[in-house]
Amino acid sequence: MSSEDIPQIYLITPPEFELSDFPNQLARCLDTVPVACLRLAMASRDEDRIARAADALREVAHARDVALVIDSHVLLVERLGLDGVHLTDGARSVRKTRKDLGADAIIGSFCGASRHDGMSAGEAGADYVAFGPVGTTPLGDGTVAEPDLFQWWSEMIEVPVVAEGALTDGLIRTVAPFTDFFGIGEEIWRHDDPAAALKAFATEMG
């Protein structure tokens, strides 16, 4: 696999974190391994809390030329100076979001394991489509995005694809030839040294 073919890292924040230390933890990760994009994926629905987190993380990310997108909150993208949004409802709101945010915004779409949703999202103007979880997890309904989905997508579809959810070293090695990005989040944040865990995953990518 040539260096151009090696997947890039799409880093996903934890659902909860402390602003007193997480920006420094994030900075160490971004300084250890090249990261293409960062997703603010907070569980909170508190607008002020999300805004303060976005301000802090935007400073860290943009200082390193890393794009910052936010989970779901389309209305906060322009208000908080973010680069785009990660939609979680398949293809349903991609077209309207593109119209609202304009041509320059990054718009991604999580499509579970559905080829149909993925293709629809791409046709509606998504910049990337994410499939997952790649590994088995007790969360969700048990659906898994199998490696053959990524292989089919890489052969048939031009829209960049993200593999995310319950990743392991073995799954990364298996899917690496067929994906453009790995969405990595809780896999590293549960470690004492997330930057070292991220570096280990990056090594498995090729």
Question: Do 126 and 153 meet the contact criterion of CB atoms below 8 Å apart?
Answer: no
Which tens digits make up the pLDDT trace of 146-174? Answer: 999 999 999 999 999 999 999 999 999 99
For residue 11, what pLDDT band results from cuts at 50, 70 and 90?
Answer: very high
Q: How far apart are CA 78 and CA 191, in angstroms?
A: 33
Per the model's pLDDT, the better-predicted residue between 113 and 140 turns out to be 113
pLDDT tens sequence across 92-133: 999 999 999 999 999 999 999 999 999 999 999 999 999 999
- In this structure, what DSSP letter does residue 142 have? S
CA-based angle 132:133:138, to the nearest 5? 155
Relative to beta strand 128-131, strand 106-110 is parallel
CA distances from 88 to 92, 110, 160, 168, 189 (A): 9, 5, 16, 23, 21
> What b/e readout covers 24-45, taking b as 16+ CB neighbours within 10 angstroms?
ebbbebbebbebbbbbbbbeee
pLDDT digits 0-9 by tens, 17-32? 999 999 999 999 999 9
What pLDDT was estimated at residue 45? 95
> Which superfamily does 7-201 belong to?
Aldolase class I (3.20.20.70)
The domains of the chain are located at 7-201
**Residue 198 pLDDT > 70, yes or no?**
yes
Q: Which of 3 and 187 is assigned the larger pLDDT?
A: 187
Residue 130: predicted pLDDT: 98
Average pLDDT across the chain, whole number: 96
C-alpha–C-alpha distance, residues 114 and 132, integer Å = 10
Look at residue 1 and tell me whether its pLDDT is greater than 90: no
The per-residue pLDDT for 206 is: 87
CB half-sphere exposure, 172, CA atoms < 13 A: 22
End-to-end CA distance of the chain: 7
pLDDT of 2 reads: 37
Rounded to two decimals, the pTM is 0.97
